[in-house]
Amino acid sequence: MDAISPTSFKTGTNLVVDLNGSAILKIFPPIYAAQFAVERLALRQLDGRLSVPIPRILAEGEDSGWSWLIITKLPGTVGSEVWPVLSEQERLAILGEIGRTIAEVQAVDPGELLEMQPAWPDFIKRQTEGCIERHRRQGLEESLLADLPALLHAAPSVLPAEVQPVILTGEWIPENLLLTETSDGWQLAAVIDFGDVMTGWREYDLLGPSTFMCAGVPDRLRAFLEGYGVPAEDYNNAMRRRLTTLMMLHGASDMRGIAICDWQASVRKLEDLEDLIWPKAL
């Protein structure tokens, strides 16, 4: 690869380098070997199967426990840079596109990804066991911590016991979405970062857009869920409680990241937070 003035990105878990404006080098240290394996497999499994571009693998390798991928650099602006200044109409359109793209990903046969760890039941068990202490460390209010034991106790009856595993990225967040401006306004241009892919219950991937982009606005949530393909009658209290439960169990769960300004002032219990993020009426 000819690299002219390679430049590293300042954010991200691994070292990510722009090689020449058209290719990206990702370097995975030994402790993140699993991320290398799952990203490589996910990119291969999804290649050519989505209507929205994702990176393609150009080269790969391993040396002394370190792994690396060279992938295509896709055009677009990182969503987190643009989202705050978009018009509401543009946000609704993009959320619909995100919903459709998630549905496309989940329609792809997971293939060998089903063999990657953790399996969904093991993941839920592990997250449940560490849930209360994790949120306590993050400074969750005592009133909300007090509601967690009941929520976790009810989780086995709230979440489906048997699921048909689908591909989950776990991170449908503005930082992993590229947007581009067209004559019709800003649109979804590409999806990046597949290092945390796993398989499991499909609703898990509804959490990122709900908490980081919909921000409790009914019209946004409606546009997103319609794009994903949720019939109006299926958006009910049972679904809302499933989403709240999954939010507290998410692998990157941190209530400090909820994109609703000063939400703590109007929340005294988990049910209040549920009503704020997923309003009863859309």
Q: How do residues 190-216 score in pLDDT, each as one tens digit?
A: 999 999 999 999 999 999 999 999 999
Nearest to 226 by CA among 105, 108, 107, 97: 97
Please tell me the predicted confidence (pLDDT) of residue 5. Answer: 76
Beta strands in 12-144 (DSSP E): 15-18, 23-28, 57-63, 66-72, 77-78
| pLDDT per residue as tens digits for the range 115-156 | 999 999 999 999 999 999 999 999 999 999 999 999 999 999
Report which DSSP code applies to 278: S
Mean pLDDT, rounded, for 52-71: 96
Mean pLDDT, rounded, for 102-115: 97
CATH architecture of 7-72: 2-Layer Sandwich (3.30)
Cis peptide preceding 118, ω within 30 of 0: yes
Beta-sheet strand order (sheet of 23-28): 7-8, 15-18, 23-28, 66-72, 57-63
Rounded to an integer, what distance in angstroms lies between the CA atom of residue 245 and that of residue 240? 9
Distances (CA, A) of 103 to 3, 68, 100, 277: 36, 29, 5, 21
| Residue type at 241 in one-letter notation | R
- The structural domains of the chain, with segments of one domain joined by +, span 7-72, 77-277
Mean pLDDT, rounded, for 90-95: 98
Q: Domain 77-277, what fold?
A: Aminoglycoside 3'-phosphotransferase; Chain: A, domain 2 (3.90.1200)
pTM comes to 0.94
